[in-house]
Amino acid sequence: MPHLIVKGPDGQAAHALELDEAAPVLIGRNPDSTLLAARPPGEPPPALVQMEAGSVSGNHLLAWVEQGQVCVEDLGSKNGSWLKLPASQPIRTQSASAVVQLARSSRESSTADDPPSPVWQTARAFGDTLRETLERWLAQQGIGADVGLVENAGDGVPPPNRVPLASGEALDIVPLATTDVSWSRTLERLWRWVARQNSVFEAEQQTREEGMILASTAIRGAHRDVVDAAQSDARTLLLTGASGAGKEMLAEVFHRHGGRSGAFVAVNCAMFSKDLLRSELFGAEPGAFTGATRRIVGAVERAQGGTLFLDEVGEMPSEVQPMLLRFLDRREFEQLGQYGKPRRADVRVVAATNRDLRDATRSGAFRADLWYRLSVHVVDVPPLKARWDDIETFLRATRLDGTASSLFEALSPDALTLLRNHAWEGNFRELTNLTERLPRQAARGGINAATCQRALERGSLRPVTRASPLPQPGAPHADWAALATRAVRTFVEDHGREPMSWDDQKEWNEKYLKPLIFFHLSGAAQQPAPANEDALSLLASRSASQVQADRGTAAKQLARYFERYRE
C-alpha cells in the first residue's frame, strides 16, 4: 500500500502514514481543513495529522494517492518541505513511497557561513540584488558556480538548481565543475537562504499594500524585526518611538504575521481614567461602577486568539499596571464585578510608547516588573528625520495637477535640501500636513525653498532653519566617450577580456559605467573626496538632490565608484 514517512524538523521520523485513494491527509501544526482551497465535489474531508513544532505551519502539507502513486503539495508553508524519493527516480516521478521532512526553520538552519542578508532598494531590484550577493558569496567560498537570473521562470517542474523568487523570477545556480556530495548540501543551504529573503520580500510587499511606506533601510530593519518576532511565536512585543512614526501599523504587521485567527484590538491607554481603562481592558458586569448598566466586554476578551495593541502604554495608570502584569504572567484576568472568578484568554500583546520607558521605570513612574515583562522583544521605530528615502517615496506618490507629475519633481533642489535637513518632530503627521499646504499645481522644480519654508513654519513648533544653498555643479565638463572607454578598460582589468555576452554588458553597465556617469553628473566630482562614512553619507544626500535621484541609488553608485575608481 502507498505510504508516506513524515519527519519533523529534527529529522526524526514522526509519522508513518498508509495512504489510500479514499481520503487525503492534511499535515500541520494546527491542521484545519476549512482553510483549504475548494476540493473536488464528493471528496471526503482529509484526515488530520498534527506535528508539534513551531517551525511547522498551521496547514503545512497535503498528501494523497492517485493511481497508486503518492502526491504531496506544500500549502505555502514558511519554511518549506523537503521530499526524498526512492533512489534512481528523478524528482518529476511520483512513487508509491516517499519520505518528506517538514520545516527545519530557516532561523534554525542558518549559520554564520550563510550569505549575508542583502538590502534591495526596490522590488524590481530584488532579483539582481540576490544574484549579486550569491555570486560574491560563492566566490568567497571557493565554489565555482554561475548564478543567472531567469525573469520568466515559466510553468512546469523546475530543475533542482532553479530557485524561485517571490518576485516571480528565479535564480539558476549552475556548478562550473564536477561536484561532490557537498554540492547538494550547499544547494539546500542556498534554497533556505533564498526562502528567508523571499519571506522578507513578501512581508514588505504586503505591508506596502496595506499603506505603510517601506523605503529606508532604517524602517525596513524595524519591520523585519517585527516580522521575525511574530513568526517566532513571541507573546509580547514592545515598540518604542516618536508619535506618528508608524508604531500602530507595525503592530498590525505583527498581528498579520502571527498566523492567528483572532481579532486585532487596539486600546489607547492615555484616553481613560484608571477605572474606565480597567473596564475597557478586562470588562465589567452591570452595576460594577456608577453608570455601568450593561455588561462590558473587555478588549482582552475581544482579542481572544488574536492580538491586543496597547498604545501609549507609558501613560497607563499605576493602579492598572499590576493587573496587566498578572495577565501577562498568567494569561488570567478578572472582570469588574466578578472578583475571585478569574478568566483566561489566549492573547498576544503589543505595547507601544513614545516615552522613554526606561527612564520612567528608573524614576518609579512605571513598574520595573512590568517593564521586564514587556521588554522581551523591543523594537525601536526610527523617527522620520532618519528616513529620507521614506519622505522621498511619499513625495513621489503625492500627485499634482500641474506639469510636474509628483510633488517631489515640483520641488527645487534647495527645497529638497531644506526638507532633508528638517527635524520632522511631527513625523508623518507633519509631512502629510505639509503636502496639504504646498501648491497643488506646479511645474518641475517650481516650488522653491522659500515657499517650502513658509509651509513648514505654519505647522512647526519652532523656527525652521534654512540650510545654506548647495554649490551647483554646473554643466558637466567630462568627456562621456572617455568615461565609457574608462569603464571598458576597468572591466578588462577585472575580467581579462572585454564584455562579450549580454550578461557581461549588464554587469559593465551597472558596476562600471553607471558609477562613473553618476559621479560626474551629480556634481560629486567637484566635491572633496569623503574621508569617512559620515562624509560619504552627506555626499550621497547632496548628490541625490542635484539629479533628483533617491538617496539609496546615490549611495550605491558612489560606493561603487569609490570602491573601484578612487585613486
Give 359-388 pLDDT, tens digit per residue. 999 999 999 999 999 999 999 999 999 899
Q: Where are the alpha helices (DSSP H) in 210-283?
A: 217-231, 247-256, 274-282
The string of DSSP letters for 466-502 reads PPPPPPP--S----HHHHHHHHHHHHHHHHSS---SH
Confirm if 215 and 195 have CB atoms less than 8 A apart.
no
Helix %, strand %, coil % for the chain, to 5? 40, 15, 40
CA 395 – CA 412 distance, rounded (Å) = 13
Query: 169: which residues sit within 8 A by CB, 6+ positions away?
Result: 126, 127, 149, 150, 151, 153
Interval 478-500 mean pLDDT:
83
Whose cell is 525573469? That residue is 151
Here the contacts of 86-93 (C-beta below 8 Å, separation 24 or greater) are 91/157, 91/160, 92/157
CA 92 – CA 478 distance, rounded (Å) = 57
Interval 311-335 mean pLDDT:
92
Amino acid code (one letter) for 421: N
- pTM for the whole thing? 0.64
**What is the 3-class SS of 10-71, one letter each residue?**
CCCEEEEEECECCECEEEECCCCHHHCCCCCCCCCCCEEEECCCCCCCCCCEEEEEECCEEE
Residue 10: is its pLDDT beyond 70?
Answer: no
pLDDT level of residue 88 (50, 70, 90 thresholds): very low
User: Residue 472: its pLDDT value, please?
Assistant: 45
The phi and psi torsions of 107 (rounded to 5 degrees) equal -70, -35
Greater confidence (187 vs 100) lies with 187
CA 351 – CA 266 distance, rounded (Å) = 10
Residue 163, CA distances (Å) to 131, 174, 201, 226, 286 in order: 11, 11, 15, 26, 60
Q: Which of 420, 416, 411 is nearest to 387 (CA)?
A: 420
Residue 175: is its pLDDT beyond 80?
Answer: yes
Interval 394-400 mean pLDDT:
91
Model pLDDT for residues 26-51, shown as the tens digit of each residue: 988 888 888 787 767 777 888 888 88
CA 368 – CA 353 distance, rounded (Å) = 15
Q: Evaluate whether the domain defined by 217-380 bears CATH number 3.40.309.10.
A: no
Interval 240-254 mean pLDDT:
94
Query: 286: which residues sit within 8 A by CB, 6+ positions away?
Result: 292, 293, 294, 295, 337
CA 524 – CA 508 distance, rounded (Å) = 21
Amino acid code (one letter) for 408: F
When mean pLDDT is compared across 94-98, 511-515, 550-554, the lowest value belongs to 94-98
Please state the domain extents for the chain: 3-104, 109-208, 217-380, 384-459, 480-564
Q: β-pairing, 145-150 with 170-175?
A: antiparallel
CA 441 – CA 405 distance, rounded (Å) = 10
User: Residue 395: its pLDDT value, please?
Assistant: 93
**CATH code at 3-104:** 2.60.200.20
If you average pLDDT over every residue of the chain, what do you get?
A: 83
pLDDT level of residue 217 (50, 70, 90 thresholds): confident
Greatest alpha-carbon span in the chain: 87
pLDDT level of residue 184 (50, 70, 90 thresholds): confident
Q: Which residues of 140-165 are buried (b: 16+ CB within 10 A; e: fewer)?
A: eeebebebebbeebeeeeeeebbbbb
Confirm if 266 and 350 have CB atoms less than 8 A apart.
no
Model pLDDT for residues 400-456, shown as the tens digit of each residue: 887 778 999 999 989 999 998 899 999 999 999 999 999 988 888 899 999 999 999
Residue 146, CA distances (Å) to 131, 139, 177, 264 in order: 10, 10, 10, 46
Winning range, highest mean pLDDT, from 135-149, 153-167, 241-255, 285-299: 241-255
CATH of 384-459, one of 1.10.8, 1.10.1660, 1.10.10, 1.10.150: 1.10.8
User: Residue 92: its pLDDT value, please?
Assistant: 37
Helices and strands in the chain: count of H runs, count of E runs:
20, 18
Q: β-pairing, 236-240 with 348-353?
A: parallel
